[in-house]
Amino acid sequence: MPPKRKVAANKAGQAAVTKKAKQATDEIVEDETDKDVGEKSNRLYWQWQSDDTEWKHFSPVSEEAINVAYGLKKAQVTITEDGENVIVYFSKMVCSITVSGEKASIRSGVKVGKDVFVWQWQDIQGEEHVYTPAQMLVLEDSFQSGDSPAVLKLGTRKYTVDFKAWTQTANTTKEMKILARVKLDVTIKAKSNARKQKIKAAKEKVETISYNGKRPVDSYCQKLHSSHVYYNGDEVWDVTLNQTNLQYNNNKFYKIQLLEDNNSNFYSVWLRWGRVGQRGQFKLTEYGYDLSSAKTLFEAKFKDKTKNNWSERDKFEKVQGKYDILYVEYSSNEDAGDAKTRPIPESNLDKRVKDLIELICNIKTMEEMVLEMKYDAKKAPLGKLTTDQIKAGYSSLKVIEGLINGNQLGPKLVEACNEFYTRIPHSFGMKSPPLIATLPMIKQKIQLLEALGDIQIAIKLLNENPDMLLHPADNHYKSLKCELIPLEKGSDNYTLIEKYLRNTHGATHNGYTLEIEDIFACVKDGDKDKFLDFGNRMLLWHGSRLTNWAGILGKGLRIAPPEAPISGYMFGKGLYFADMCSKSANYCFASHTVPSGLLLLCEVSLGDCNELKVADSNADRLPMGKHSVKGRGMIIPDPREIVELPDGVKVPCGKGLDSNFFSVDRYTLIYNEYIVYNVNQVRMRYLIRVKFNFKQ
């Protein structure tokens, strides 16, 4: 049933009637073409536009009534849809609920077998307009007859229509228009009874991309398996655009692809557009062997949506109120199909290592995590968002941070948030993207960008030159270049780490207990040679999301880039560690549904610490002679129980005590924090797999 809302203009649909369309005599519904509709009207297919912008099919009973009325040249018809009386107005292509008066757009197409096609034409500005239902029937009949060119009467004029060149030329004025025959994403069933449609929320998922060539054909395109994205050398005719306007609740994408058939030089332009996270609307325009015309449409669309020229996209400048380019990276995976058919060899890894690798290299887990954080991986698949695009996201957050700190919460903040969501696509359904107006919200977005960076690294590592003679887990393990050696329960180091974890669970972190499942000694290639030893070496905790660990083990711990805002880091941009295990465990972001987590024990060369009692976002500017920062907390491991390893590393594994027992100073932090600002002051020593036992 049409929702109770105002009619929305829709350029690509038949719903809205633009001023130009009203002025064109051959676009008026009451034209001579309508006189010949008659019984042909039963071939028309009718839809109404729901409140979430999706097009819904009228019930078969309603559609039959609409077709009869249209065939009889009625101006309107009253139908009953889902128990409500609805008036359909043919001249304006809208329908209205009689009780409330609220309206919805409608559109029609021509049924051809199990498919439905809409006929459109393009004006000199590149805008698409639809023909009237009656004119569509005339065009479809002529197209099916195979006569080309054909002289047709559309409206009050005669036209020569060339279905090979896809042009329509007025016989008197010689004005030429570009035609398009667009297939709707519907399937006509042979026989159907009237029924109420159950509208279910589409499940969010991330697309799996497999393709030949330099870019994947959009998965919604009907030519997905019969064409490829056209390219000429390094120039690939494919672009995804993104735009967010919080003030208008706009969060939308626009995809443009120039396609070439796999078996011939037959060209098409594929367009898909809509709200981020939704399938949206789409159109395929075929140009036969006319590559030049296909390029012209592609370039015109790009210019219209961005106000930039396609040929000058290397100098692209974002224009306010227009779309921005979403930069994604792709690498061809032509052998993907063959890989699926190959038998999987047995793994040579210890089962504990194999299970760990499969846990941290699980793409599905990565997908679920970013979806929870509202990232839209349909528009920018995991691992494909470029490093520059992620940096641009950080830069936007930095601008937002400055505005918040300056208490500028008006239009400038809205525009900065628009820029962030445009660069880093999010899916909020039909809800408006939230304004990023607090520092905690900035911190959440920083965590998303950090995760995207780690996932990008992980996926690149996992796809690097796989050895088909190895089990996938063995390949992944090999790509990390980090030796993982399981510790046996009861061994000295296992027992010490077990004690360290048990004793340093903070009293304030009482929502769960931790249970060790496995412990691995870590030996990362190159760590020993690069290590900077300033003395005062301690074994300290570090926690992170499961999705980040392949990137961490593969490339090591990394410091936030210069583009990142500083407000998300209490003591500036550095590597953070704790001497209380639960302090770090909280950063695993485990849950009741995914109760697994990983904690890293690192050898950290603290040297001479700059001890601070309160947070300082500029603490990375160390005083002369200082090598690290220690944020002093109220609860500390009992210093009388520190254990020193044979190599001189100290393990603060005592039970938590009130620091006032040892000092009269008062602190604002609950627990100690240790921060170093050089990654070479850190060596990974042990990786602990833990289970979170949440209390109800």
Catalytic residues: 673
Measured CA to CA, the distance from residue 447 to residue 543 in angstroms comes to: 13
Q: Which of 543, 553, 554, 203 is nearest to 367 (CA)?
A: 203
**Contact assessment for residue 267 and residue 282, using Cβ atoms and an 8 Å cutoff:** no
**Contact assessment for residue 152 and residue 146, using Cβ atoms and an 8 Å cutoff:** no
Copy the structure tokens of residue 529.
Answer: 């040679």
C-alpha distances in Å from residue 269, one per residue of 227, 234, 503, 644: 11, 19, 64, 68
- Sign for the CA dihedral angle at 227, 228, 229, 231 comes to negative
Stated as kind and residue range, the H or E segment containing 460 is helix 439-462
Sheet holding 628-631, edge to edge: 575-577, 673-676, 628-631, 609-612
| DSSP assignment letter at 613 | S
Measured CA to CA, the distance from residue 645 to residue 195 in angstroms comes to: 74
Stated as kind and residue range, the H or E segment containing 354 is helix 351-360
With residues binned 3-state (H G I as helix, E B as strand, rest as coil), the percentages for the chain, rounded to 5, are 30, 30, 40
C-alpha distances in Å from residue 169, one per residue of 58, 161, 650: 35, 6, 85
Measured CA to CA, the distance from residue 478 to residue 472 in angstroms comes to: 10
SS3 label, residue 524: strand
Residue with tokens 């106000």: 307
Q: What are phi and psi of 190, to 5 degrees?
A: -60, -40
Q: Which of 169, 148, 180, 186 is nearest to 45 (CA)?
A: 186
Please work out, in degrees rounded to the nearest 5, the angle formed at the alpha carbon of residue 556 by the alpha carbons of 551 and 558.
90
Amino acid (one-letter) located at 244: T
Max distance between CA atoms of the chain, in angstroms, equals 100
* Cβ neighbours, 10 Å, residue 334: 10
**Contact assessment for residue 683 and residue 647, using Cβ atoms and an 8 Å cutoff:** no
Rounded (10°) angle between helices 472-480 and 351-360: 80
Amino acid (one-letter) located at 694: F
Measured CA to CA, the distance from residue 8 to residue 6 in angstroms comes to: 6
- Contacts for 64-72: CB closer than 8 Å, 24+ residues apart: 67/41, 67/42, 68/41, 68/42, 70/37, 70/41, 70/44, 70/133, 70/134, 71/37, 71/38, 71/39, 71/40, 71/41, 71/42
Measured CA to CA, the distance from residue 687 to residue 654 in angstroms comes to: 20
SS3 label, residue 446: helix
Measured CA to CA, the distance from residue 250 to residue 301 in angstroms comes to: 19
Measured CA to CA, the distance from residue 689 to residue 494 in angstroms comes to: 12
